[in-house]
Amino acid sequence: MTWLNKKESAAMRNSGVLMHISSLPSPYGIGTLGKAARDFVDFLEAAGQTFWQTLPICPTSYGDSPYQSCSTYAGNPYFIDLDLLREEGLLEKEDYEGISWEIRTDQVDYGILYRERFDVLGKAARRFRHRIRESGHTGDGISTLKEAYETFCRENGFWLDDFALFMTIKNLNGGKAWTEWDSALRNREKEALELVRARQEGEIAFWKILQFFFFRQWKALHNYCAGKNIRIIGDMPFYVALDSVDVWARPDLFLLDEERIPIEVAGVPPDGFSETGQLWGNPVYRWEEHKKTGYSWWIQKIGYLCREYDILRIDHFRGFDSYYTVKYGSEDARGGAWRPGPGYALFEALKKSRGDLPIIAEDLGYTTESVRKLLKDTGFPGMKILQFGFDERDEGSSDHLPHQYPVHCVAYTGTHDNDTLCGWLEHADPGDVACARDYLRLEGAKEPHWDMIKALYATAAETVIVQTQDLLGLDSESRMNTPSTMGGNWCWRLCQGDLNKELAEKLRHITSLYDRMNRS
C-alpha cells in the first residue's frame, strides 16, 4: 500500500512544510482560508514543495487544542475568512474591521475570538438565510446557492445534524459539557431532542450554515492547491474528546458507565520524558463494539477525512496495536495498564471497504515488535524525527538518526509537539546537543538550523517535512505546543512578509540540490 500515485516511483523524493491554518498571518486574529492561505500555497509552489501539512482543521474547545475537538467532522469556524464573506455580500467592512482582534500579531488570542467571532459570523448567517429565503427561479445565483447549501446538508447529514444539535444544546447550557446537561438531553431522549429541534430551529440552522461557509472555502482552497500541484496532508487524532458530539451521539462505542461517565481514560505511562506520564483524559474505545459493526465508525471517519485531504496522517497509530489507560479521576498517568487494540483487523476492513488509502502512520513513542509488524502489514509509511535521534531519554533514538532512515518513511525536523530546531539547540540536554553537533558537523555553522534541514533533505526518506518555524530560524517562544502543559499553546502565528521571495528561493535551491523538487 502506498500513498504515492501509481504512476510515481516508490523511491520518488519530495518535501513539504508543516504549518497549521491558525498560524497564517491575518488582521483578524487568526489564520483563515482566504488570501493568506493562497499566498502560502504560492510560496510552496515557488519553493518547489509538494506538500502542505496542517494540524486537524476541526473546532477547538477547552485548551484550544485541535486534538481535543467537539467534532471529528466539523470545520473550525474561526478559519472562515471574513473578507471572502464580504465579497459574497454576506458581511460589510464595518461588521468586523473595527474590532480589536489581537494583542500581538504573532499570537492567537482565543479569548478574543470566542467573544467576538460568532457575533460577526451570526450576521453573515442571518444574511445568508434571508437571501436563500428570497431565492427566485431555478438557475439564478441565489437559487444556485440555496441548492448548494441543501446539497451540503443532505450529503453531510450523517454528522451535521447531530453536530448542529449538540452545539445548540451546549449553548443553551452556557457551554457546559454534555455530561452536565439535564439527563433527558444527556441521554438523547427522543422527546427532549425533538423539543429542542422545534424551539431552536434558527440556532440549529446557524451551526449548519457555518459549516457550509467553512467547507465551501475549504474546497476552494483545496482546488487552488491542486491547481498549483500542492497536496494537503491532514491529521486525524486517534482519540476524541469526552465533551464531543462523537461521544454524545455514540456512547455505546466508548468505555463509559451507566451514567455515561468514563471508566478509564487515555494517557502515556511514565518514561524518560515525564516521571508521572501524560494524562490525556480522552475516553477509550469499546473495541468489541466496533468489531461487531465491522469497524464501520472508523471506516466512515477515515474515508471522510481522506476525501477532505490528499493524504491523512493518523496520530498515535500505535494505539491500534495497544493503548495505555488509567482509571478515570486519576491525578496522573501512573498506575495504568496496557490494553490490546484491534490490530490489523480494522485496516483489513478499511481496505476491503475503501481500497488503498493515502495514510501516514504516526508511530512515535513507545514501540514494540507488534507495533512494527502492524505498520509493516498496513504498508503505511511511518515517521522519523531528527531531534529524537540524539535524545538519550528515547530508547528508540537510534532509529531516528538520519543514516538509519528507510526510503518508505516521512522524516521531520520536528512535529507540533517538538521544540523548534534553534530552541532545541539552546535548551536540550547539553550532551544530546553535543552529539548532534558532532554528528551533523555543526561546529562553526552560522545558521545551524539550515544545516540540520539539509541533513534531513539528504536522507533516503522519500518525504521530508519541515516546520515553518525552522525555516525562519525561530526560538522556543515560537513552538506550537509543549505537551502536558496548559496555556500558551497553539498560538504561534506568522507575521506578514515572513515568507518572502528570498526564503522561497533558498528553500527551492536546497530542494533541487537534494532532488526533492515537485514533479507533478
Catalytic annotation, pick one of 315, 321, 363, 391? 315
Catalytic annotation, pick one of 348, 417, 451, 498? 417
Closest CA to 285 of 271, 301, 307: 301
| 362 tagged catalytic | yes
Distances (CA, A) of 487 to 50, 111, 357, 480, 481: 33, 12, 36, 11, 9
**Ramachandran region of residue 232, left (φ > 0), alpha (ψ -120 to 50) or beta?**
beta
In whole angstroms, what is the distance from residue 195 CA to residue 490 CA?
A: 38
| 83 tagged catalytic | no
* Sheet strands (E) in 263-404: 264-268, 278-283, 311-314, 322-327, 337-340, 359-361, 382-385
Contact between 87 and 268 (Cβ < 8 Å): no
Phi and psi torsions of 144, nearest 5°: -65, -40
Catalytic annotation, pick one of 162, 246, 310, 362? 362
In whole angstroms, what is the distance from residue 405 CA to residue 308 CA?
A: 29
In whole angstroms, what is the distance from residue 347 CA to residue 321 CA?
A: 11
| 417 tagged catalytic | yes
Contact between 191 and 156 (Cβ < 8 Å): no
* Sheet strands (E) in 145-297: 231-236, 264-268, 278-283
As beta bridge partners, residue 409 has: 382
Q: Which residues are catalytic?
A: 315, 362, 417
